[in-house]
Amino acid sequence: MNSFFGTGPTPWDIAANGPRPPARASVRTLSTNIEDALIGTFSRAQLDSLLPEELNLTWARDDIDPRDDTLSKRDAIRGYTHGWTLPQLAGLARRLTTEFELKSNWAEELELYIDAYQRDGGGVDGPTKNLIFAANGPKPELVLRDALNNQIEITANAEFCLVYDHPVPPEGLWLSHLIRWWREREEVPDWVEDRAVALALHERLRGSLADNRAEQVIFDAYAARYKEGFNIPALIPQVYLHFDPVTQRARRAAANGSPLARQRMDFLLLFSDRQRVVIEVDGKQHYAKGSTASPELYSQMVAEDRRLRLDGYEVYRFGGYELTENPDAPTMVKQFFDKLADNKK
């Protein structure tokens, strides 16, 4: 076209035909693209097995029966993703593009929204592996069994810790997932109700806190949320982040040696496979040597916080004093978890 604008496309051509505006990840855009990809790739019969069995999703609608043959494919998918948050949908989208052969146009479309979510701060870049937690005795001794596949083996003290050996679902690690895992691990008969299994698991997890009153306040305040249902992220105590085979005393005695910072996290919440929230409870040992304030210990603590945040974790800290000396501590912690859950919707 010969015009004031030359022979190339006019601004009106660009506005009408491209370039395409950047993808923005939202609950609406991601859920729609996930549904379109599944509908365009799989039959209804395939979805009936893929969603609950291969993806291990939980039916989320009490008013609809998933076996209803009159449900459309879109309604069947929404029965599993009803009420999901953006991090949960992003986790599901990642699994679909990496574990299944979607039709190319749908896979490319989903990748755009996954990239947009990650660009806007979508959590940790990498799936959850090696979830070792709730140690109630000596530190487990680990070896790297397969370095290429990041497979570890516990060679000593395995009886004192728990290892979640199932894939973390895209919607995050819910208490209902832990209940199913605990039922299998302990070989609990099917006739035992989930509530009884949950109580046994609760006692085992709480036991890993020993007599730490401050951590017990956090754990008990969150456990009250399970009264509303088990399909919420589980609060996982005493999660190993690093492993150092050398004792802290030996590490300090070595030339230029210091122990690895924060080998364990006090608590971890997985709102999705990548959306990870760390909760730390700071006793005096975190910032003082004896009764003397230690700038060195404080610096190590905040440096490790920075590293975790840059890796995509969220980190929240409670002071031991505000949990043990404040009579309103349970209410304060409840309000914190309420606000945190609201922020994840």
251 has a pLDDT exceeding 70: no
For 100-104, 150-154, 292-296, which range has the lowest pLDDT when averaged over its residues? 292-296
Confidence band of 27 (pLDDT split at 50, 70, 90): confident
Confirm whether 1 is domain-assigned: no
Q: Same domain, yes or no, for 309 and 330?
A: yes
Q: How many domains does the chain have?
A: 2
Confidence band of 343 (pLDDT split at 50, 70, 90): confident
74 has a pLDDT exceeding 80: yes
**Residue 155 or residue 77, greater confidence:** 77
User: CA–CA distance from 236 to each of 116, 186, 201, 233, 266 (Å)?
Assistant: 29, 18, 11, 9, 8
Q: Same domain, yes or no, for 20 and 153?
A: no
Count of beta carbons in the 10 Å neighbourhood of residue 285? 11
Flag whether the pTM goes above 0.75: no
Confidence band of 208 (pLDDT split at 50, 70, 90): very high
In DSSP terms, 276 is beta-bridged to 270
Q: Same domain, yes or no, for 287 and 148?
A: yes
Confidence band of 5 (pLDDT split at 50, 70, 90): very low
137 has a pLDDT exceeding 70: yes
What's the mean pLDDT when you consider all of the chain?
81
Confirm whether 3 is domain-assigned: no
In degrees and rounded to multiples of 5, residue 14 shows phi and psi of -65, -40
Percent with pLDDT over 90 in the chain: 38
Confirm whether 124 is domain-assigned: no
- Return the SS3 of 89: helix
Confirm whether 17 is domain-assigned: yes
pLDDT digits (tens, 9 = 90+) for 156-180: 888 899 999 888 877 789 999 999 9
Q: pLDDT value at position 209?
A: 95
**Residue 141 or residue 47, greater confidence:** 47
Confidence band of 193 (pLDDT split at 50, 70, 90): very high
pLDDT digits (tens, 9 = 90+) for 258-317: 444 557 889 999 987 778 899 999 866 555 566 665 677 677 777 888 888 877 888 999
Confidence band of 120 (pLDDT split at 50, 70, 90): low
Q: Same domain, yes or no, for 96 and 226?
A: no
User: CA–CA distance from 240 to each of 130, 154, 181 (Å)?
Assistant: 9, 13, 19
Q: Report the C-alpha gap between 169 and 74 in whole angstroms.
A: 20
2 has a pLDDT exceeding 50: no
Q: Same domain, yes or no, for 210 and 160?
A: yes
* Lookup result for tokens 């004896």: 290
Q: pLDDT value at position 144?
A: 67
Confidence band of 133 (pLDDT split at 50, 70, 90): very high
Residue 86 lies in domain: 11-119
Q: Report the C-alpha gap between 198 and 140 in whole angstroms.
A: 25
Concatenated DSSP letters for 204-259? HHHHTTTT-HHHHHHHHHHHGGGGG-S-SB--EEEEE----SS-HHHHHHSTT--P
14 has a pLDDT exceeding 50: no
Confirm whether 6 is domain-assigned: no
Q: Same domain, yes or no, for 75 and 152?
A: no
204 has a pLDDT exceeding 50: yes
- Segment 112-128 shows an average pLDDT of 72
Q: Report the C-alpha gap between 213 and 318 in whole angstroms.
A: 13
Q: Same domain, yes or no, for 75 and 214?
A: no
Dihedral over Cα of 159, 129, 266, 340: its sign: negative
106 has a pLDDT exceeding 70: yes
The phi-psi region of residue 245 (left if phi > 0; otherwise alpha if psi is between -120 and 50; otherwise beta) is: alpha
Q: Same domain, yes or no, for 266 and 137?
A: yes
Confirm whether 254 is domain-assigned: yes
